[in-house]
Structure 1
Amino acid sequence: MPLSLSILIVEDGAADRMLLATIVARQGHRVLTAGNGLEALALFEQERPQLVLMDALMPVMDGFEAARLIKQRAGDELVPIIFLTSLSEPRELVRCLDAGGDDFIAKPYDPVILQAKIQAMHRLRQLQATVLGQRDLIADHNRQLLDEQRAAKAIFDKVAHAGCLDAGNIRYRQSPQALFNGDVLLAAQAPAGQLFVLLGDFTGHGLPAAIGAMPLAETFYGMTAKGYAS
């Protein structure tokens, strides 16, 4: 299936703008056009094109300023900007890149080179979309894990800490890095006054470990209440 993108062409010269629009449309892309940077900015806000072909030197607002503003408003989304330029001085070409340009193409336009650059920028967009998607999945997984750990701690605290861990002769430290990591510390006083302590490492982490440790805690407290030593 041919590649088809929404492409904004920003060029103050009517003839150049029409020529470039024809080349890009024939390559199968949807074309938007603007005559200066200010028009380009308004069209970007309205249409959110996927790629911008930007002339550097234009009236009202030049391509440098327009590129900076488009990049700001695009946020995390990668909207590649290819500068259209007849500039040849290295400083001016560097200025295109410093303004937010991702590449540039010299006038007059070679359709084959233009098509290759558009395809290259599209691959960058796909790569960035993949990276952002993976970032969001990792963030969601991390949030779910933290929620599960908080739930695990709340569940286990109601049972495991129903004993007498606050007794003066018991000292322990709870790590803040893992809300429930499977370590079990239980303490309870028997009817005859003895203090029984159970220390173990329960299999697993998080909610499954907390739920699994609950029967152990209930058994320990039940046996201690009846005076059993083990």
Structure 2
Amino acid sequence: MNKMKVLAVDDNRTNLHILQVFLKKLGHEVILAENGEEAVRRFESESPDLVLLDIMMPVMDGFEAARRIKAMTRDRWTPVIFLSALNRDENLVEGLDAGADDYLTKPINFVVLEAKLRSMQRSLTMQQQSIDSLRRVQAISDNVLDAIVTTNEEGMVVSVNQSTERIFGWPSSELIGQHTSVLIPVQQGATDQHSVRSIDADEPLLVAAQEQEVVATHKDGHRFPATISVSQVTLDNQRMIISVIRDISERKQTEQKLRENAHQLQDYYDQTQTEQQLALRLMEKQLHRSGLQDKRLCYKVIPAEHFSGDIVAAARSQDGHLYALLADATGHGLTAAISVLPVLALFYRMTKLNRSIQEIVLELNQQLKESMPVGRFVAITLVCLNEGERKGEIWVGGTPEAFLFDRWGRVASTFPSDNLPLGIVGSNELGGQPRVFTWEPESQLALCSDGLLEATDKDGVQFGSSGLIESATNSSPKERFAKIEAALKVHQNGCLASDDISLMLIECP
């Protein structure tokens, strides 16, 4: 504090003028009054830092003025120095009882007065620093979202921050002096308070109790969930209890909503699982027809998910011809599996009637073109074997090329994909006649989906046609399927496939 605002009071104008000149020379701001009543008015309007007060004055003497001034300065200390020719002990005692902080007799010794002013100035500077610190602490406290309630040992509220007013609806002026039970019912808050009060009274540090959930009470009577943590601090040999209370209504609502959502998700999951299990049983019934149990077939389908978009089917016609189908729908999973169901139904119906490969392909294409959305299609390899004449027909559209292995596992013929997958164009644009082929004894026809050839190892290398051919070479017809399976497993080495995998070997007797 570089300068003070000083209220100088004296009924003698000469003395007042001398004081004014002296104080201004010291760098202070001066307010003048000529009697006690005027001094009280000027004090109220100007809020000076220090008062120099004469005792013997008209209208109102200095003792009464001092008492009234002190009554107006409850929040901060404003020093009052009496200046008087009265120098008896009883005058000094009366002045101090009236609220004076110091006493200086007239005629004034200005050296002593200057020293007293410096002393008061140091005390006022310390007071201002304390006030500034308190304001900073209060500002921080008021900006904390939690309620901070300070009580004495009896649980009476001493101070609260602004959040307490917001959370509980009580103005601080009404809350101070009340028991904390108006905020937290005694039976719930007692545990924490008792635990704090049982701490050694000589302990000067702040000790925190464990946070616990309670039910708090708003001024309007409604209750809400809250957490409370209670601490204690000893100040000036007086034990104070500090409670930090947090309104957790939103958190509780969020937790309840999360629980409800979790139940809904669990119900949805359970329902989905039930539906998937039902769909899986239906698919299994559709897929595993008796034709696949033909002794001349070996096959395997490995879905990337629960459902496979790859299917294999086999059936014998009334004339004994063996029909085999490997189909691969766009994507994988349940949607891909649904896409191939119409293919299965038509395949089994038309093969029973001994229809040609060309007729079956055109009918399948027409059905898929009409029923499937744009962007969805089904790649197929369709085979018909006339075992009596050792002659077969094969149509490949969109699936990898098929291989005819001889008895030693060498590639005797390949059948590339010369046609579009089914469901893309109309049947009149599909075209493509089936290829006719013959075979030597103990030959095998290998059909697969692109999932087999695109299966990768840990380095991203694909199994490929080379992997299929190498694993089949120098193998007997009986062990060939197992050798291909083993080679694929070694290649993947635990890596998950990104697409459905299907493989079918057909013996050509």
What amino acid maps onto 1:15 in structure 2? T
2-structure distance, mates of 1:148, 1:33: 45
2:226 counterpart letter in structure 1: F
Q: Which has the higher contact order (CA 8 A, sep 6+)?
A: 1
Q: Which residue of 2 aligns with 1:146?
A: 164
Q: Aligned in 2, Cα 1:40/1:215: closer, same or farther, shift over 3 Å?
A: closer
Partner of 1:221: 260
Q: Distance in 2 between matches of 1:11 and 1:40?
A: 9
- Give the partner amino acid of 1:137: A
CA-based RMSD:
3.6
* Superposition map of 1:115-194 within 5 A: 115-133=114-132, 134=134, 136-137=138-139, 140-141=142-143, 142=148, 143-146=161-164, 174-176=214-216, 180-181=226-227
Check conservation: 2:81, 2:103, Cα contact below 8 A: yes
Counterpart of 1:58?
A: 57
Higher mean C-alpha deviation, range 75-84 or range 218-227: 218-227
Would the aligned equivalents of 2:214 and 2:226 in 1 still touch at CA under 8 Å?
no
Provide closer, same or farther for how the CA distance between residues 137 and 119 of structure 1 changes in structure 2, counting only shifts above 3 A. farther
Q: 1:139: Cα distance to partner?
A: 6.0
Q: How does 1:56-135 map to 2 (within 5 A)?
A: 56-133=55-132, 134=134
Structure 1 residues 206 and 121, CA gap change in structure 2 (3 angstroms): same
Q: Is the 8 A contact 1:149 1:179 kept in 2?
A: no
Inter-partner Cα distance in structure 2 for 1:39 and 1:149: 45
User: What secondary structure does 1:206 align onto?
Assistant: strand
Q: Report the AA paired with residue 25 of structure 2.
A: R
Q: CA offsets per residue over residues 164-221 of structure 1, 9 Å max, x none?
A: xxxxxxxxx9354995228xxxxxxxxxxxxxxxxxxxxxx836x7666666543433
Q: Deviations over 1:97-126 (max 9, x none)?
A: 111212122222222321222232233333
Distance between the aligned counterparts of 2:73 and 2:8, measured in 1? 17
> What CA deviation, in whole Å up to 9, does each residue of 1:129-177 have, x standing for no partner?
4444416437625435436866xxxxxxxxxxxxxxxxxxxxxx93549
Q: CA deviation at 1:56?
A: 1.4
How far is the alpha carbon of 1:96 from its aligned partner?
0.9
Contact 2:6 2:48 in 1 (8 A): yes
CA contact (8 A) 1:10 1:33 kept: yes
Please state which structure has a larger fraction of its residues in strand. 2
Inter-partner Cα distance in structure 1 for 2:142 and 2:125: 21
Gaps of 5+ in 2: 149-160, 169-212, 218-223, 229-244, 270-509
How far 1:61 moved relative to its partner? Answer: 1.1
Any conservation in 1 of the 2:67–2:99 contact (CA below 8 Å)? yes
Taking structure 1 as reference, are residues 119 and 138 closer, same or farther at Cα in structure 2, changes over 3 Å only?
Answer: farther
Letter in 2 for 1:218: K
Cα distance in 2, alignment partners of residues 104 and 214 from structure 1: 66
**How far, CA to CA, are the matches of 2:27 and 2:257 in structure 1?**
69
Q: Does structure 1 retain, via aligned residues, the 8 Å contact 2:9–2:54?
A: yes
1:84 CA displacement: 0.6
The aligned counterpart of 1:185 is none
CA distance in 1, matches of 2:14, 2:215: 70
Rounded to whole Å, the distance in 2 between the matches of 1:99 and 1:45 is 18
Q: Which runs of 5+ in 1 are unaligned?
A: 151-172, 183-204
Aligned partner letter, 2:227: N
Report the identity percentage: 34
- SS class of match (2:214): coil
Distance (Å, rounded) in 2 between the aligned partners of 1:104 and 1:61:
19
More displaced, 97-106 or 71-80?
71-80
Q: TM-score, normalised by structure 2?
A: 0.31
Distance 2:252 2:44 in 1: 55
Q: Which residue pairs with 2:22 in the alignment?
A: 23
Structure 1 95/138 Cα, relative in aligned 2: closer, same or farther at 3 Å?
farther
Give the stretch that moved more between structures: 210-219 or 112-121: 210-219
8 A Cα contact 2:24 2:30, kept in partner: yes
Give the TM-score normalised by structure 1: 0.62
Superposition deviation, residue 18 in structure 1: 2.5
Alignment coverage as a number of residue pairs: 184
| Equivalent in the alignment of 1:194 | none
| Structure with the greater alpha carbon radius of gyration | 2
Select the structure that is richer in helix.
1
- For residue 116 of structure 2, give the secondary structure of its aligned residue in structure 1: helix
Q: For the structure 1 residues 32 and 140, does the alpha-carbon distance in structure 2 shift closer, same or farther, using more than 3 Å as the test?
A: same
**Rounded Cα–Cα distance in structure 2 between residues aligned with 1:124 and 1:58:** 29
1:137 and 1:92, CA in 2 relative to 1: closer, same or farther beyond 3 A? Answer: farther
- In 2, are the aligned partners of 1:10 and 1:35 still within 8 Å (CA)? yes
* 67-76 vs 55-64, greater mean Cα deviation: 67-76
**Partners in 2 of 1:146 and 1:6 — Cα distance?**
37
Residue aligned with 2:103, SS = strand
**What pairs up with 1:1-16 in 2 under 5 angstroms?**
3-16=2-15
What CA distance in whole angstroms lies between the structure 2 residues aligned with 1:38 and 1:146? 41
